[in-house]
Structure formats: C-alpha cells, structure tokens
C-alpha cells in the first residue's frame, strides 16, 4: 500500500532542524563580531519599518503601484537587507522579472514580524478567493505567511468597496455624471439530504453597477421636456427621418463592401474606398469606461414590495456619493427630532401591491423641489425589459410621496438596455427562419445540422452560438448575392455584370455599384399578391433568401453601431426594430419598449437627459476602437463572475 506524502511534513523534511542548525558553520560563526553587527543592523532596519510612525506601504489598503513603491521602500529604508536579497536573487540579471519575488519575500518577512504589515497577504487572499480556493488551501498558505485566513477576505472586500466609493466621489467631485445598470442574479442552493422541510432553494437577488458617462451633456438645457405627448404625432415620430435613412443606407453599404473586397479578389482594389460612418463622439467612445460594481441586494425584482427597496437603496447610494463629493451637506450627522408622538414615516409597500399597467407617473419629468439638495440631479437607470417595467412600477407606486427622495425622483429616466433587445430580435429571426426542416437546403436549420452546431436552438438558449451561426449564414448569403449581382460563378471568376471600368474613379464606381446593390437586394419592396396572376406561384426560395439577407444586415448594423459606440445610429435602429417586433406575435413587449425608448428620446426627456442616455448605454471595458459593448451585457458578464 503506497504511503501518502503530506506536503507539510515534506517541507519540514527539507528544512534543517533546530539542532542541526546549531552545529553548522554559520551558527558557529554567529559569535563573530562583524556578523553579529550585520544581523543587528538588519534587525534594526526591519524593526524601524514595523513602527506605525514609519507608515510603511505594507500597511496600505490600496493595491496600486505594486512594482514601484515596495522596491523603493526596501531600497531606502532597509539598504542592507535589500543588498543581501539582491545578491541572493542575482537582481542584476533579469531585474524586471525578479522584482515581484523580491518584494514578496520582503512582504512575508515583515508580516511574520508584524501582522499589520499584510499588504501582500491581503492581495494573495483575494487571488485565492478569485480562484475559488477552499479553506484548506488558505490554512496551508497562511501557515507560511503567504496569505490571511479565509474569513478575512470579506473584510478585505469591504475595504475595497469603500475604496471604490471614494473613487466614485472623486469622479463626481470632478463634475462627472453616471448611470446605474441593474440585472437580476439567481442561483440555487442545493441541500445535501433532501427532506420535506429541507429542500433546494432558489435565491433571487439584484446586482447593480455604476458606470460613468464618457460624453458630457452639460452644455444642453435641462429644464423642460422636449415636447408634449398630447401634441406629438406618434406616426411621424417613429418613421425614419431623411438623415436616418441615409445613415442606415450607408451602414448597409459598408457591410456589403467589407464582404465584397475581403472575399472576392477581383474587387480587392476597393479596399481603400471610404464610407464615412464616424460619430460625433468617436474619440470619447474610444476611452475606457469607469465601472464600479455595487453590493448585491438580496431582493426579488418580481415583487414590487422588494423592488421598491432596491430603488430606495439606489437613492441612498446617490445621496452618499454626493455627500462624499461635497456637493450636498452631510445630513447623516443631523439629529432627528423624535419628540413628536407621531413621527411621519414613509409607508411600506404591501407585498401584493401592483402598479398600473402603463406606469404613467414614472415617465413624467420630476418637478423641481426647492428644498431638495439634489434638485437638478437625475441618474439614469438601465435594465432589461422586466427590470424596466418593475422599476417604473416602483416609481409609479411612490409617486404620491411628499419628498423628492421618497418619490425616487433622482432615479430618472429608466431605460431598457440594448443587449436584451438584440437577443429578442435574434429570437424573432430564428422564429421566422429556423422552423424549416433540416433537409431543406439553404435554411438555418440545414446549416445547423450540416455544421453540427448542436448548441443552436430556436429558443436562443445559447445566444453567442446562435448569433455566430446566423452571422456566418448571413455573410454566405451576402456573398452569394454579390456573385449573382456581378454575374460571377465563384469568387475567383471575373465579373460579367457591373464591370468596373479601368480608367474610372474607384470611389465613384464604389458608390454607384453598391448603391445599386443595396437598392436591389435590401430595400426593394416585395411584389404584392395583387400583381400575381392565379397561375403564378411566389418564389419561396427567393423570398426566404431576401428575408434572411435583410434581417442579417439589420443585426450586423446593430452590432457595428454597438462596437463603435454610435449612439445616434442605435437610436435609428430602434425605430427599425419597433416595426419588426410589432409585426410578429409574441414580441409585442419589446415593441412597446422600443416605442417607450423613442418617446423618451424625443418627447419625455429634456435635451440634456436624452443626450446623456443616448451615449451612456454602452461600455468600453478595455479602451480603444471597436471595443464597446451594451451596458446590460457588461452587467451579465459581472454576474457570471459573481456566480463562480
């Protein structure tokens, strides 16, 4: 039977025992005076670092500047210790790679001398927590001074949370504005032994993040809504304006052009031709977003009694942030008059309460209260369709309260986010195009079976895989349409139709031929049934192909607008999505959301609020061009990390 090796005993076997150490030449040389002075000097240096008056960086609660301040501190405050460790590590060779081990050794030594100098131990505890390490791993590493115990990680996370709140206050103090994004986060707690009184339990919570705006809206007026709903022509409002039609037309041209010169070698000369789709705030949308996760609230957003508590917590956070930033006085220190026998308190919401279906008062522009310290402060809040409805319902339930804080006036407007809209649109696409048999060549179902994409389903359970399949099929259909348009049999053939002249202006030819392609394949109106004779049958293959092609261009233009951070183009695409959602049963909820979003953008909100929400719905976590994502997708990614 093989004997198990205990790592702790193995390390003790490698390390010399105390008795053995006393007989070594090094131990016998301790009586030598120069060496004793060296050791005393090292001890004095380390003792001086451990003093609280020294304010060592190892006491710091901030994890910035890891590779800068610790080597400097060791070099200046402990020169002898630094010299010995440098010689032991041969710091002259590959010094950049050896700074981290040097500072780690220094951190462990100081932690063993003074428990308050736990900079590295707290950092390593967070790394272990992120890796889902168990208690045994923590205990083993803690024994060697590498990390703290497992129960200390919660205190560290609270300290980091307070640091984040200070960061938010600094940004607000500098004049920045921000938005909230909410999403439900659910998980299941499984029991080991299931009984009648001990069952698996589903836990519902609400995760929140704060995202700072990258585009300033302070130059616009913020007094009154842009229009009166009673005087608004809704039909004209949801129609695409002339500039929006041109913008969408150019978006389709760019998508077709990229496939044309990338896939067909004969048109590679068009690669340098340009279609200008730059947005007004292109530079700002390339900058990295500042995202601050907030604590998870154990509330169920499907219950109005609990979603009101979530809104109250958001109001509390807003007031705390502006108090920390010095924008409003700190009212927490003021004494409360409790001498009144019947103090006025906000009534609680009954658990069975329900909001009105249209939540009318949630869309009304909040009236300015002269006694409100945050009278001109409005923080947008984003969420999916359910979150928007519930949050708007909570505001509607609180609309009759006496103060602006109780009415939740500072959380306005409540907007539906774009990723869930895109997901619903893809679900509509699959509902239209996926239900055919897998033996019908050219259909989505056919390519799913042909490519063995087993995780692609009609209910879009795996969104990314379903989107990848549709984008791939859409590009293939676009390539086939381009080959048909130019009279080519394959990508290596020469064009027979719409042939580029040798001495023509490439840009002019580029615009002319792509305008013709877009008008013929994407914007042409289908033949009505009245134009067909009784003997004529509709070409269902052609209709299916054109339908797939047009839906692909809508989805691709939506994805491109998100990546580039083009808020204006997203507002245009919402008008297009509105008609598609409305024309298909089962998607009326998102048709309503698109209509509400358009009304907010053009009617309900002030110019400043409309401008802010138009450009605040996207997040760039890395910085750079083409790295923007929807704000609710960012929250979904954070939720996935929280569940690990």
Q: What digits encode the pLDDT tens for the residues 156-195? A: 877 776 677 888 888 999 999 999 999 999 888 888 888 8
CB 429 within 8 A of CB 435: no
Which runs of consecutive H residues, i.e. helices, occur in 290-441? 304-324, 385-397, 418-433
In the three-class reduction of DSSP (H, G, I as helix; E, B as strand; rest coil), residue 46 is classed as: helix
In the three-class reduction of DSSP (H, G, I as helix; E, B as strand; rest coil), residue 209 is classed as: strand
% pLDDT > 70, the chain: 86
Distances in whole angstroms, Cα of residue 497 to Cα of each of 174, 260, 456: 60, 15, 38
Pairing of strands 379-383, 628-630: unpaired
Identify the pLDDT of residue 357.
59
- Give the other-Cβ count within 10 Å of 330's Cβ: 11
CB 257 within 8 A of CB 644: no
CB 475 within 8 A of CB 260: no
Distances in whole angstroms, Cα of residue 165 to Cα of each of 122, 170, 178, 326: 19, 9, 13, 13
Q: Residue 122: in which H helix or E strand, if any?
A: helix 119-130
DSSP assigned state of 476: H
Residue 283 above 80 pLDDT? yes
Instruction: Give the mean pLDDT of 334-344.
Output: 42
Residues 6+ apart with CB under 8 A from 33: none
Identify the pLDDT of residue 349.
53
Mean pLDDT (the chain, rounded): 84
Pairing of strands 201-212, 178-189: antiparallel
- Give the other-Cβ count within 10 Å of 14's Cβ: 7
Residue 629 above 90 pLDDT? yes
Residues 6+ apart with CB under 8 A from 330: 323
Residue 2 above 50 pLDDT? no
CB-neighbour burial class of residue 590 (10 A; exposed 0-12, middle 13-18, buried 19+): buried
CB 287 within 8 A of CB 627: no
DSSP states of 478-538 = HHHHHHHHHT-SSTTSPP-SSPPPTTS-HHHHHHHHHHHHHHHHTSPPPPPGGGS-TT---
Residue with tokens 């889902």: 132
Instruction: Give the mean pLDDT of 275-304.
Output: 90
* Pair of tokens at residue 539: 């070409």
Residue 341 above 60 pLDDT? no
DSSP states of 399-428 = TT-SSTTTTTTTEEEEEE-HHHHHHHHHHH
Residue 404 above 60 pLDDT? yes
pTM of the model: 0.79
Identify the pLDDT of residue 13.
39
- Give the model's confidence band at 332: pLDDT under 50 very low, under 70 low, under 90 confident, else very high: low
Give the span between the Cα atoms of 640 and 16, in whole angstroms.
47
Instruction: Give the mean pLDDT of 531-555.
Output: 81
Identify the pLDDT of residue 161.
67
Phi, psi of 297 (to 5 degrees): -100, 125
Q: Can you say whether the dihedral through the CA atoms of 446, 451, 457, 463 is positive or negative?
A: negative
- Give the model's confidence band at 573: pLDDT under 50 very low, under 70 low, under 90 confident, else very high: very high
Instruction: Give the mean pLDDT of 29-40.
Output: 69
Residue 14 above 90 pLDDT? no
Pairing of strands 201-212, 291-297: antiparallel
Identify the pLDDT of residue 70.
66
Q: Where are the domains of the chain?
A: 35-149
């Amino acid at each position: 039977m093989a004997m198990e090796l205990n790592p702790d005993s193995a390390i003790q076997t490698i390390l010399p025992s105390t008795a053995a150490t006393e007989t070594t030449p090094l131990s016998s040389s301790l009586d030598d005076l120069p060496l004793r002075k060296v050791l005393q000097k090292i001890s004095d240096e380390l003792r001086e670092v451990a003093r609280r008056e020294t304010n060592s960086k190892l006491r710091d609660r901030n994890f910035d500047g890891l590779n800068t301040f610790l080597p400097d501190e060791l070099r200046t405050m402990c020169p002898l210790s630094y010299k010995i460790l440098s010689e032991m590590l041969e710091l002259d060779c590959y010094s950049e790679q050896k700074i981290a081990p040097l500072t780690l050794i220094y951190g462990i030594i100081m932690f063993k001398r003074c428990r308050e100098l736990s900079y590295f131990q707290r950092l390593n505890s967070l790394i272990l927590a992120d890796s889902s390490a168990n208690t045994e791993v923590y205990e083993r590493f803690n024994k060697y001074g590498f990390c703290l115990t497992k129960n200390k990680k919660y205190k560290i996370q609270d300290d980091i949370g307070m640091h984040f709140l200070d960061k938010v206050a600094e940004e607000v103090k500098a004049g920045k504005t921000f938005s909230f994004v909410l999403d439900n986060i659910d998980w299941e707690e499984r029991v080991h032994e299931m009984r009648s009184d001990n069952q698996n339990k589903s836990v519902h919570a609400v995760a929140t993040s704060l995202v700072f705006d990258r585009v300033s809206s302070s130059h616009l007026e913020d007094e009154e809504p842009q229009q009166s709903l009673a005087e608004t022509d809704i039909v004209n409002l949801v129609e695409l304006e002339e500039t929006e039609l041109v913008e969408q037309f150019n978006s389709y041209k760019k998508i077709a052009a990229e496939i044309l010169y990338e896939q067909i070698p004969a048109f590679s000369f068009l690669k340098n031709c340009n279609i200008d789709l730059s947005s007004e705030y292109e530079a700002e949308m390339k900058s990295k977003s500042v995202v601050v996760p907030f604590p998870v609230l154990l509330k169920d957003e499907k219950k109005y009694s609990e979603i009101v508590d979530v809104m109250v917590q958001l109001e509390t956070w807003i007031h705390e942030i502006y108090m920390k930033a010095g924008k409003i006085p700190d009212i927490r220190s003021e004494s409360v008059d409790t001498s009144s026998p019947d103090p006025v308190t906000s009534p609680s919401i009954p658990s069975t309460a329900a909001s009105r279906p249209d939540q009318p008062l949630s869309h009304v522009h909040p009236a300015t209260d002269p006694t409100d310290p945050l009278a001109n402060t409005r923080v947008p809040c984003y969420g999916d369709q359910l979150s928007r409805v519930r949050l708007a319902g909570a505001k509607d339930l609180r609309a009759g309260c006496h103060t602006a804080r109780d009415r939740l006036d500072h959380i306005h407007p409540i907007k539906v986010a774009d990723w869930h809209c895109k997901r619903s649109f893809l679900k509509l696409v699959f509902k239209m195009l996926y239900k055919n048999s897998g033996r019908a060549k050219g259909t989505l179902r056919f390519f799913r079976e042909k490519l063995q994409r087993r995780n692609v389903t009609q209910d879009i359970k795996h969104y990314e895989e379903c989107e990848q399949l549709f984008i791939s099929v859409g590009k293939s259909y676009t390539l086939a349409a381009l080959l048909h348009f130019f009279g080519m049999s394959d990508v290596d053939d020469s064009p027979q139709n719409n042939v580029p002249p040798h001495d023509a202006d490439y840009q002019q030819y580029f615009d002319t031929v792509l305008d013709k392609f877009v008008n013929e394949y994407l914007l042409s109106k289908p033949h009505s049934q009245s134009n067909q004779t009784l003997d004529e049958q509709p070409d269902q293959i052609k209709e299916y192909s054109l339908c797939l092609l047009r839906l692909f261009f809508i989805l691709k233009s939506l994805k491109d607008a998100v990546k580039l951070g083009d808020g204006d183009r997203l507002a245009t695409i919402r008008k297009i999505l509105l008609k598609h959602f409305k024309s298909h049963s089962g998607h009326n909820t998102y048709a309503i959301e698109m209509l509400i979003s358009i009304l907010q953008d053009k009617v309900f909100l002030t110019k400043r609020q409309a401008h802010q929400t138009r450009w605040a719905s996207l997040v760039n976590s890395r910085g750079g061009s083409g790295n923007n994502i929807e704000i609710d997708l960012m929250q979904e990614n954070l939720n996935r990390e929280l569940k690990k």
